Amino acid sequence: MDLSANGVFDVRERFAAGAQYIDGTLCVGTSGRPHPVVAPATGETVYSYDLAGPGDVDAAVAAAAWALPGWAGATPGERSDAMHRFAGVLAGRAAEFAYAESLQCGKPLRLTTEFDVPGTVDNTAFFAGAARHLEGRAAGEYSGDHTSYVRREPVGVVSSITPWNYPLQMAAWKVLPAIAAGNTIVLKPAELTPLTSLMFAEAATEAGIPAGVVNVVAGAGKEAGEHLVGHPDVAMTSFTGSTAVGRRVAEIATGTVKRLHLELGGKAPFVVFDDADLEAAVHGAVAGALINTGQDCTAATRAYVQRPLYDAFVAGVADLFSGIRVGDPFDADTDLGPLVSHAQRDRVAGFVGRARSYATVVTGGDAPASPGAFYRPTLVTGAAQDSEIVQSEVFGPVLVVLPFDSDDEGLALANDTPYGLAASAWTRDVFRAGRATREIKAGCVWVNDHIPIISEMPHGGYRASGYGKDMSAYSLEEYTQVKHVMYDNTAVARKSWHRTVFGGR
């Protein structure tokens, strides 16, 4: 396999056996409907596979249900050892994962090599350790006559649906805490980008995690996804994606009384106070807005800049945007790759095109001549707070900048969307920073930075951005049942409370 900048990752050969991973084996989907994997940088179809149908979902759920007793019954140490081996397999195949992720998503190889893949390896190592620390409340005599303690038990078979923007990392965020806690899982990746999810599941089996513990069905949302969420043998669903689709997932899950974890859309504010380090804020905004070509639910999308710094901030961002190198993701000099598809590029262009009627496009706002799904970094000013470009999730390399005067106004504007996933505040004043972290309604608030994530800390939102946590020990709360166990300590046959039922008899 040639992993050089001009090489071709031969997915046709790599996945000749099919693009479903069920009970430890690659197999062909049974829907009878082929689906292409298109390299967004070139528009070339690099692989075509048969989508999963309901029968494949049933088979994957059956495999997960069969594997559940053995995996749930393994000791925490045994699960931990297997997951440490899993981290080692991933690390040993890092170059292959990076190339496949860049090929199917259009991400610069620099990004997948330095961010996506090492982040996934670190996540795996973290949950390998966390598997040994599923603690409950210490035993105690809380009633006086009884000893109580808390057990943490697996939920059961988990279904997870992941998006196309971070296929490898999202697979890890869903699979790892689930299996660390003793569950088994059926993962449905986005149809556009199934490759690294399949490779991730294969690596789990290679590491000695039993067949059936991690399964992947690559199918359409309506056919495979909805069947998976509504499956009666699935105990929990975890979904990452748009708020609109999340509502549909919630409707289906509610019908079968499943546990549900939703990580949905975002519209992250980037609040720059007038005492901020301007250079740091400008560089942070550019990096935070353009990470993964802006296809990140925590990306900086709305910069609110206090009036004294506003003009200089806009000029600084425009200058850096104009120097961003857009192009071949396998070129070491490329800063920004394409969007994931031509349809997504056209969606982003539509937002910008409509904004021209009510705002100013300072720089960008067009696509370079290329067969790929590229779009230039775009800076917009002069938009009203209630405009579409400010309120809706664009999911592309677009940053809107608005001014504010008082601190009260800036924080109010930051909270003035339905979302609440992430935000950042830029200031040298510890009291301003403290106020911002308290008052901004978001699951993560950075101070003088935007985007960094770490395995030890939770990721998840407020309001229309969903509920529940990925990563960190907090995510294990999503994937465990809490059971209270109570022992009588008295050996008395006739308890005093019995008289409430049958008096003094």
Catalytic residues: 263, 297
Tokens standing for residue 207: 């590491």
| Radius of gyration of the chain measured on its C-alpha atoms | 25
Q: Cα(440)–Cα(424) distance, rounded to whole angstroms?
A: 9
H or E stretch covering 301? strand 300-306
In sequence order, what DSSP letters do the residues of 366-385 get, joined into one string? S--SSSS-----EEEES--T
Question: What are the CA-CA distances from residue 308 to residues 217, 276, 286, 405 (Å)?
Answer: 53, 11, 20, 9
Cα dihedral 306, 312, 314, 315 in deg (nearest 10)? 180
Which residues are 271's β-sheet partners?
A: 304, 425
Q: Which two tokens stand for residue 29?
A: 């989907």
Q: Are strands 300-306 and 466-467 parallel, antiparallel or unpaired?
A: unpaired
Quick check: 218 and 186 in contact, CB under 8 A? no
Task: Give CA–CA dist 48/150, Å, rounded.
Answer: 49
How far apart, in whole angstroms, are the C-alpha atoms of residue 366 and residue 389?
16
Rounded Cα–Cα distance for residues 442 and 433 (Å): 14
Cα–Cα distances (Å) from 96 to 9, 89, 414, in that order, read 9, 11, 40
**CB under 8 Å to 423, separation ≥6 — which residues?**
268, 269, 270, 271, 414, 440, 442, 444, 445, 446
C-alpha separations of 31 from 45, 68, 302 in Å:
20, 27, 42
> Hey, what amino acid is at 7?
G
Chain length of the chain: 505
Amino acid in the structure at residue 144:
G
| Residue 42 CB neighbour total at 10 angstroms | 17
Give, rounded to a whole angstrom, the gap between the first and last alpha carbons of the chain. Answer: 82
239 vs 250: CA distance, rounded Å? 9
What DSSP element (H or E) covers 358?
none
